[in-house]
Structure 1
Amino acid sequence: MTGIPDIPVHLVGRPRAGGLVVPWITPATRDGGLYLFGKIGNLAQYRCLTRSLCQVCGRRLGVRAVLFARESDLLHQCTAEPAVCPPCAAYSRRACPMLAGRRHRYRAGDHPGLAGTPIAADQVLRQAAPVERWYAVWIRDYDVVDHPAQPGTLTASWQRIPPLRIRPLAATA
């Protein structure tokens, strides 16, 4: 996809950058001048996970939701990415370059808007690394747990609550 995807009606009032909807969970630089796509705001992540809010529109999730998980997340049956409602999942699959398979490597450095800010250890490991394949994990519910391999990182887990289905997204390699 080279064009900008149609924006769902319920997202029309959300801020945009480059024609794309800025997810509710996406932080901005301190001066508010640049949205940090690919980053997750810690407080927003916590709120989404603990209050069952969609990370894109910020609304309460319904009876079904989608967790976007990397291949390595499947091993632990959890992801730090909060869930999205089905309409936001459909939009995100088209709009997000990672989910749509348009990016094949992570950034070589941190986000340009964060120059001089310390980088988290898990992000250092991904710098310039090939992107893992992404999956849509359709769920009814999830548990909020500490990541088994990254203590202190909250995740949405489907280990106790079997998912409705797991589907691979576009190939990234």
Structure 2
Amino acid sequence: MPWITGWFDARPYFGINFPIRRTQCIEHRLCQFCRQPLGRRIGLVVRPADITAGYVEEPAMHPECLDYAVAVCPMLNGATDQYRAAPPSAVAELVTATASRAGKPAEAYDAWYITPSGYEIAYSPDGSVLGISLDVPVLMKRPIRAAARPRLTDEQTALLRQVLDLEAVTFVESILDAPGDTPS
């Protein structure tokens, strides 16, 4: 269980982090997973939106903890293809950062590895911690998962089938698949 995971109503809510623990991890260079001080190699989980912002909101991890997180986290390993539709009402005010992703398809995730000398905290103009700067030397980058494809609504699917004339294709396939009607 990652140390920064939020607990509400006596159960963990993965993907929702305790804001105070998140800040503590970033400011004190602690692994978000095991809470131990970071070592010689530091792993960051980076999305395209993080690159655009110039920093990653999630605290860093040991490379081993990052590997374990990828193995067990459904968002990182691709078992989940979209973000939770809405956070529990009890935690809604704590998760403003993830609220914009609610119900949307999962983004691409990469692992970036940096050294302690490249670890820089990004601050907002009011002095609050934004995250870890990405404008630093990177030892290695590796893809973790590709972005999920957006799901089509029933209306979008019907329109696509109509535009591509897939009803005719389905009709021909059903004829070809009928017993005893195998083309020679």
Q: TM-score range by the shorter chain?
A: 0.7 to 0.9
Distance in 2, Cα, partners of 1:158 & 1:62? 18
The aligned residue for residue 126 of structure 1 is: 101
1:137 equivalent to 2:116? Answer no
- Residues 147 and 155 in structure 1, CA contact (< 8 A), matched pair in contact too: no
SS at match of 1:88: helix
Deviation at 1:124, TM superposition (A): 3.0
1:45 equivalent to 2:22? Answer yes
Paired residues for 1:91-102 under 5 Å? 91-102=68-79
1:63 equivalent to 2:37? Answer no
In terms of mean alpha carbon deviation, does 116-125 or 81-90 score higher?
116-125
Distance in 2, Cα, partners of 1:124 & 1:52? 26
1:85 equivalent to 2:59? Answer no
- 4+ long deviations beyond 6 Å: none
- Residues 68 and 81 in structure 1, CA contact (< 8 A), matched pair in contact too: yes
Percent of paired sites with the same residue: 33
Distance in 2, Cα, partners of 1:60 & 1:124? 29
1:24 equivalent to 2:9? Answer no
**Over alpha carbons, which structure has the higher Rg?**
2
What are the superposed Cα offsets for residues 87-132 of structure 1, whole Å, 9 maximum, x if unpaired?
A: 101101111111111111111111xxx3354344443321111111
Deviation at 1:153, TM superposition (A): 5.2
Structure 2 unmatched runs, 5+: 149-184
Give TM-score scaled by structure 1 length: 0.75
SS at match of 2:111: strand
Deviation at 1:62, TM superposition (A): 0.3
More helix by share: 2
Query: RMSD over aligned Cα, in angstroms?
Result: 2.0
The aligned residue for residue 115 of structure 1 is: 89
